[in-house]
């Protein structure tokens, strides 16, 4: 089969391309913006990338056009596809029909931590001999790729609540029909497609409805929104994790990161010794341990695997050091994720100065829905630097409560200049964005030299 993927450089669609290529299909694709790491991964697989969405790509005559949710009506290629009446489908639908059918799907859903938890669970199952397939919204360092078919029955997938395509407004995860589902947390996000938190809770309950009676829901005990989701109806076994006090059957952590005991009720069932920081990673680990247990992996086995877990690229990833200043890259873009990331670095560097640079790039942030939360998200940083770019709201006004602690710049080059002027040896510069951030990491390192 020849598939041509529209929006191929997104993390999900790029992973789908890798799976299709591994399965023996001919894969081509196009996108408006091509940047690493996905572009590098695709080219290494021999997948032809075309810049832009010109209608003349119709001449490729693939068996089916696979359409990413970045594509809208008015897109020249999509309009040509519709006009020609040729076959097209969404990425999640193609994946469900051609890869997930007949597999034990383990889906990882939640507002935060999906990528890391998916990678953790996949590594645990790999170390336990399950040879899982996977599709992760990033590049797990233990594997070096974002997706593979796997030789075993299990398939681990990052289960995004964002919509499927312009012609299918259901959440992506409704296509996956998991037997094991992690519900990691739930906050308001994706303000461009959801009116409020209740609308997202409805989609999560649709996911709960697809899990069979013999399946397992692994649910964060701390999240009130998830308890409301389950209260709407639940037909599967529920395993809770992260309770702050003893709860029968639930997994919880005891001890400060990085090392901690795993308890079930009052009984210690494992101990995790690893390099990851932050309570959020403890919770991610508990979720992965519980989900793996559904496939027969004992908590002690999972803990041993997590000791060698190397995390995902762009998760507090040190990009380099110049002039005595360390520069990090992180995917954080939601205020809660930004706060968690800054806190994780704070735990690592102690009293050293943290200079946080960020661009409000996600659709939710571009709309300004959460701009009031930015001072809260950044309060553990010593200085913060925001890229105004083409935002429809005034970042200077939003960050005004931070006073001299925050600077706003209209261009990436101006941002680099401001950071370099403020930086001094021993500082840690944390760059947060869900995109390429204009190559700021390399520009900073070059300027700091």
Q: What is the mean pLDDT of residues 9-32?
A: 93
The total number of residues shown for the chain amounts to: 449
Condensed to tens digits (0 to 9), the pLDDT of residues 373-431 reads 899 899 999 999 999 888 888 889 989 999 999 999 999 999 999 999 999 999 999 99
Where along the chain do the CATH 3.90.190.20 domains lie?
A: 317-448
The CATH architecture assigned to 317-448 reads Alpha-Beta Complex (3.90)
Q: What is the mean pLDDT of residues 354-367?
A: 84
Gyration radius (Cα) of the chain, Å: 22
Other C-beta atoms within 10 Å of 315: how many?
Answer: 22
What stretch of H or E contains 54?
none
Q: What is this structure's pTM? A: 0.81
Residue 48 tokens read as 């032809």
CA pair distance 92, 70, nearest whole angstrom: 13
CATH number for region 102-306: 3.40.1190.10
Where along the chain do the CATH 3.40.50.720 domains lie?
A: 2-91
Condensed to tens digits (0 to 9), the pLDDT of residues 224-263 reads 999 999 999 999 999 999 988 888 889 999 987 789 999 9
Where along the chain do the CATH 3.40.1190.10 domains lie?
A: 102-306
Condensed to tens digits (0 to 9), the pLDDT of residues 100-109 reads 999 999 999 9
% residues pLDDT > 90 (the chain): 71
Domain 2-91 falls in which CATH fold? Rossmann fold (3.40.50)
Return the closest-CA partner of residue 139 out of 23, 311, 18, 306: 311
End-to-end CA separation in angstroms for the chain: 50
């Amino acid at each position: 089969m020849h598939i041509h993927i529209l929006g191929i450089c997104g993390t999900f669609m790029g992973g789908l391309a890798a799976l299709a290529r591994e399965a023996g299909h001919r894969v081509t694709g196009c996108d408006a913006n091509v940047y690493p790491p996905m572009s590098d991964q695709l080219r290494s697989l021999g997948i032809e990338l075309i810049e832009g969405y010109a209608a003349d790509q119709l001449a490729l005559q693939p068996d089916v056009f696979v359409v990413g949710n970045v594509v809208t009506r008015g897109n020249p290629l999509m309009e040509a596809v519709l006009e020609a009446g040729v076959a097209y489908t969404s990425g999640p639908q193609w994946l469900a029909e051609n890869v997930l059918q007949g597999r034990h799907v383990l889906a990882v859903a939640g507002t935060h931590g999906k990528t890391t938890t998916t990678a953790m669970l996949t590594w645990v199952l790999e170390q336990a001999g399950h040879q899982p397939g996977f599709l992760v919204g990033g590049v797990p360092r233990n594997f070096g790729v974002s997706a593979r078919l796997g030789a075993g029955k299990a398939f681990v997938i990052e289960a995004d609540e964002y919509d499927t395509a312009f012609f299918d407004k259901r959440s992506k995860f409704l296509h996956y029909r998991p037997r094991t589902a992690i519900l990691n947390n739930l906050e308001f996000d994706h303000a461009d497609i959801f009116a409020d938190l209740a609308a997202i809770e409805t989609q999560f309950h649709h996911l709960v409805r697809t899990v069979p009676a013999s399946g397992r829901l692994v649910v964060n005990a701390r999240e009130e929104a998830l308890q409301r989701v389950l209260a709407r109806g639940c037909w599967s076994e529920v395993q809770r994790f992260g309770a702050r006090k003893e709860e029968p059957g639930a997994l919880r952590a005891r001890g400060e990161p990085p090392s901690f005991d795993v308890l079930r009720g009052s009984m210690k069932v494992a101990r995790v010794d690893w390099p990851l920081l932050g309570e959020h990673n403890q919770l991610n680990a508990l979720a992965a341990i519980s989900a793996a247990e559904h496939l027969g992996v004992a908590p002690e086995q999972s803990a041993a695997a997590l000791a060698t877990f190397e995390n995902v690229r762009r998760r507090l990833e040190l990009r380099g050091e110049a002039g005595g200043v360390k520069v990090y890259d992180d995917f954080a873009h939601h205020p809660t994720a930004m706060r968690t990331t800054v806190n994780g670095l704070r735990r690592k560097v102690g009293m050293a100065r943290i200079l946080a640079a960020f661009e409000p790039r996600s659709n939710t942030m571009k709309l300004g829905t959460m701009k009031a939360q930015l001072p809260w998200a950044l309060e553990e940083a010593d200085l913060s630097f925001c890229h105004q770019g083409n935002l429809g709201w005034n970042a200077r006004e939003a960050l005004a409560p931070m006073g001299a602690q925050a600077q706003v710049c209209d261009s990436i080059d101006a941002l680099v200049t401001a950071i370099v002027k403020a930086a001094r040896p021993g500082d840690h510069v944390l760059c947060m964005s869900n995109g390429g951030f204009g190559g700021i990491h390399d520009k900073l390192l070059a300027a700091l030299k």
